[in-house]
Copies of this chain bind each other. A is one copy, B any other.
Amino acid sequence: MSADQRRIQPRKQPRQVRAELTRQRILTAAAHVFGEHGYAAGTTNRIAERAGISIGSLYQYFPNKDAILAELLVRHLDDGAAIAERLQREALPGPIEDIFRLFVRGAIESHLDEPRLLRVLLEQAPKSTDVLVKVERLKTNLVGYLRALLDGHPEVRITDTETAARLIVTTVELVIHQLVADHEPVDIGCLETELVAMLTRYVRG
């Protein structure tokens, strides 16, 4: 397939309005197609067709197929980072349970639309170093914040806060991915309640 991706800028910059519009149409179509067919079967021609443009136009805005999915992933990561930042401002000192609830809600919130695409993003996304760094940065940020929280909160009775923070972040992320994108419809409310309960009782010892 491909692994190079040496051409970063497929063209200089979109300068007209219709150009930016076409770009958006491509990304929207790609989100649908990748979510529907997966990455391998989500062909560029299909994306162009769904976007209502020609295949040539598509390649004027993206250097290759990987770049399209990477762009979608970057957008999702930026959304996640924004939510995480918001949470870190909102979460005033209070019961650890409330903080966890905010945390879990934020995670659920950012995965409600387009769960199928999300799955593709995280499972089959081409692992360009550029994007991987961004993923790692977001995760490290979350883990660091959570660890500081665990260290400073009076309710918390845990020694290995490093491992605990990682476990919590990983658990929330994965469980939500799984259950939101799952075939069997799970009640989101129940899930939230139980997940928060699990985390709370865990850290309170």
Residues of A within 8 A of B (CB): 1, 40-41, 123-124, 160, 163-164, 166-167, 170-171, 174-175, 178-179, 186-187, 190-191, 193-195, 197-199, 201-202, 204-205
Interfacial chain B residues near A197, Cβ < 8 Å: 202
Complex-state Cα separation, A191 to B179, whole angstroms: 22
Complex-state Cα separation, A191 to B165, whole angstroms: 11
Q: Take A1-B41, A167-B175, A178-B174 as given contacts and tell me if A205 and B201 are in contact as well, using a CB distance cutoff of 8 Å.
A: yes
Interfacial chain B residues near A160, Cβ < 8 Å: 190, 193-194
Asked if residues A186 and B198 are in contact (CB atoms below 8 Å), the reply is no
Interfacial chain B residues near A163, Cβ < 8 Å: 186-187, 190-191, 194
- Which of B40, B164, B175, B205 is close to A171, meaning CB atoms less than 8 Å apart? B175
Interfacial chain B residues near A164, Cβ < 8 Å: 194
Complex-state Cα separation, A190 to B158, whole angstroms: 13
Asked if residues B170 and A195 are in contact (CB atoms below 8 Å), the reply is no
Interfacial chain B residues near A204, Cβ < 8 Å: 201
Complex-state Cα separation, A185 to B134, whole angstroms: 19
Complex-state Cα separation, A46 to B170, whole angstroms: 34
The residue in chain B whose Cβ has the minimal distance to the Cβ of A132 is B183
Q: How far is the CB of A118 from chain B (nearest CB, A)?
A: 13
Q: How far is the CB of A108 from chain B (nearest CB, A)?
A: 14
Asked if residues B167 and A198 are in contact (CB atoms below 8 Å), the reply is yes
Complex-state Cα separation, A164 to B190, whole angstroms: 9
Interfacial chain B residues near A41, Cβ < 8 Å: 1
